[in-house]
Amino acid sequence: MTPDALKVADDLVVSMHYTLTLDDGEVVDSSVKGDPLQFLQGFGQIIPGLEKELYGMAIGDNKQVVVAAADGYGEVDPDAFQVVPRSIFPEELDLEEGMGLRMRDQATGQLIETYIAEIRPEEVLLDFNHPLAGEVLTFDIEITGIRPASDEELAHGHVH
Ligand code: ZN
């Protein structure tokens, strides 16, 4: 089989250009000005709603894939918000809505990512949802490469 006869299937290394657009037309991510994204198909390295649409595609194929929130970054969890006092942040830190922060979980000591949902006079509302939770994701993709993975790549579960 020649390399360009390959079609996307499990255990293959796929290279793909993609542009991710939200429902309001905002482009949140694109590989087009840089290197294509490379990943092992079938290993859950990209979001499930996108991965399952790639099977059978060949090099040079284009597709638009619309992924529902549930198959993307999940629905917004209303319990994943937390109000904290403004005073826990250093005064010189310029807080802005939408700003990403890393907080240390008091119980586990782990760093977790959060976003400022709202700034109130004395309090800050933090959102622990993924920033793309609840969003319908539209991917415009082009397959730019497909090759068999090495035994080592398959054993490690990622591309070398
Ligand atoms: Zn490795």
| pLDDT given for residue 91 in this prediction | 86
Assigned CATH topology for domain 3-73+132-156: Chitinase A; domain 3 (3.10.50)
Domain at 78-127: CATH code: 2.40.10.330
- pLDDT tens sequence for the chain (160 residues): 555 579 999 999 999 999 999 999 999 999 999 999 999 999 999 999 999 999 999 999 999 999 999 999 999 999 999 999 999 998 898 999 999 999 888 888 899 899 999 999 999 999 999 889 999 999 999 999 999 999 999 999 999 9
Structure tokens at 117: 């949902």
| pLDDT given for residue 105 in this prediction | 81
- Please report, for the chain, the start and end positions of each structural domain, with discontinuous segments joined by +: 3-73+132-156, 78-127
Cα angle vertex 105, ends 104, 111, to 5°? 45
Residues 139/19, Cβ–Cβ less than 8 Å: yes
- Amino acid found at 70: A
| CA 102 / ligand 1 centre spacing (Å) | 28
DSSP-assigned beta bridge partners for residue 16: 37, 143
Which whole-number Å values give the CA distances from 42 to 52, 93, 117, 127, in the listed order?
8, 43, 35, 31
| CA 38 / ligand 1 centre spacing (Å) | 14
pTM assigned to the model? 0.78
| pLDDT given for residue 126 in this prediction | 95
| CA 80 / ligand 1 centre spacing (Å) | 34
| CA 157 / ligand 1 centre spacing (Å) | 7
| pLDDT given for residue 5 in this prediction | 78
What is the rounded CA–CA span in Å between residue 111 and residue 107?
11
| CA 51 / ligand 1 centre spacing (Å) | 21
Locate the DSSP E strands across 4-122.
Answer: 12-21, 27-30, 37-40, 62-67, 81-85, 100-104, 111-119
What is 42-79 written as a DSSP string?
TTT-S-HHHHTT-TT-BTT-EEEEEE-GGGTT----GG
| pLDDT given for residue 31 in this prediction | 97
